[in-house]
Structure 1
Amino acid sequence: MEGTPQDYSKGLKMQSEMLLAASQFPAKCSDQPQRDRYCRLIVLRTSDLLGSASGFVRGADIVAGQILMRSMLEDLIRVLWGTLSEENAQHLMQHGQDEFKNLFRVNLQEGTARVTDADGLDHSQRFLEEGGLKRVVKKKSIETMAKEAGALGLYNVFYRFASLHTHGNLLDEPRTDDPIDISAMLSALGAISKTTGHICIRWLLGRERPSDTELLELLGVR
C-alpha cells in the first residue's frame, strides 16, 4: 500500500472538509424533503467522524478506528435504506427520537430520572402513564435494513467484522505498529466515507441511487 499513515491522514482531513461543504448542497428539487434532510445530516456526521479518524496514525489507534468504522458502516447502510423512500427516511428520523424517549422511560421507571414541577412535586408516574414515551415507529435492525436495501453482503462481511472490535471480541488480537496496517485502516475509513458521501450527494443533486456494481467500486472491493 503506497503512502504513509500521515499521507492518508492528510487525505482524510481534506475529504472531511469536502463532505462538510457537501452537507450544504441544495437539492435538485424540493419534492423529497425527508430524504434530503436525512442525507445532509448523514453527510455532516460522516464529515465529523472522518475528521476525528484522520488523527489515527499510530498502531494503538487501530482498535478505535475499527470501532469508528462500524458506526460509519451503519450510517452507510441506513442511508442506502433511507433513500429508498420518504417513509424510510422519516422512519429513521423518528427512530432517533424513539430511542431517546426509551432511554428516558427506562430511567423514570428505575428512579434515576424524575419529572417535577416548579414546586418540586414529582409527576414521574403520571408522565409514564400518559404514554408520551411510547415508540412511534417499529424498531428495525441494521441487518433488516441491509437486506431490504440489497446490501446484505456489506452487512455480513464488513459490518460484522467491525462489530467484533466494537464489542471487545478480539481482545487477544496482536497489536501492530506496522505502517501498512495503519494505512489500510485509514484507507478503509476513507472508502466508506466516500461511498456514503457519493450516495447522499448523488441523491441530492440527481435524485439517483448507485448500482450494486458502483457501490463495490466505491468501496474498493471490485
Structure 2
Amino acid sequence: ASPRGARFGGAPAAPVEPAAPRHSAEDLRAAAEMVATLIRLRADGRTGEAHVVLCEAAGRPPEQFPLLAAELHRAGLGADWAELLWEAAFLPPARLAAAAGALAAAGRDGDCGQLLRQGVSRPAEEISDAVLALGEAGRAHEARALLSAFVQARTPEDAVLIAAPDPRRLVPQLIDAARAVSVARERDLVHALRVAGIVST
C-alpha cells in the first residue's frame, strides 16, 4: 500500500464543497427575461412599456440590484440601468438603504453613490430614516455619502429637518458631512441648528 498521510502527500483529498451561488436560478432567469424584454421593447420603439418594466425592476429585492446592473450593462443597456437607479431613488427609506448597501457590498461604489445622490430630493424626514437604516446595517460609509450629498444639494434649514428625529445620533453625522464639504458649509449648518434650538448656542 502506498504511504498515506500529509507528509507523504498521500492523504485522501478532502471533499470540496461547491461555492454557493450568489443568486438563485430563479433570480438569474428573471434578470435574463427582463433584459430580453427590454431589448425587444427598445427595438420596437415602445419606450413607455420599457419604462414600466424598469419601474417594476426597481421594486425587486435590493439584493438583486447588482445582478440587474451586471446584466443590463452586459446587454449594452447602460441607459436603462441609469433609469432603474433613478426609480430606485424613490423607494421607501429602508429599501433605498438596502439597495445602496447591496451595491456597495458588490463593489459597485459608483452606482451606490449615484443612487444616494439621486435620493437627496426626498423629504428630509425620509433621509433621516435612510441614514439611520444604513447605520443600523453597518453601512456608515454609505450613510455619510447620503448626508454629504444632501448638505451639498439642500439648504442648511433642510438639513436641520434631518437632525430633528434623532439629534443625538444625527447631528454629529450631519456636522461631519458638512465639514467634509467645506468650512463654510459646516458653519452655516451649525448656525441653522442653533437657530432651531437643536444645539446649544
Q: What TM-score do the two structures reach when normalised by structure 1?
A: 0.21
Structure of greater relative contact order (alpha carbons < 8 Å, 6+ residues apart): 1
CA radius of gyration, larger in: 2
Q: What TM-score do the two structures reach when normalised by structure 2?
A: 0.23
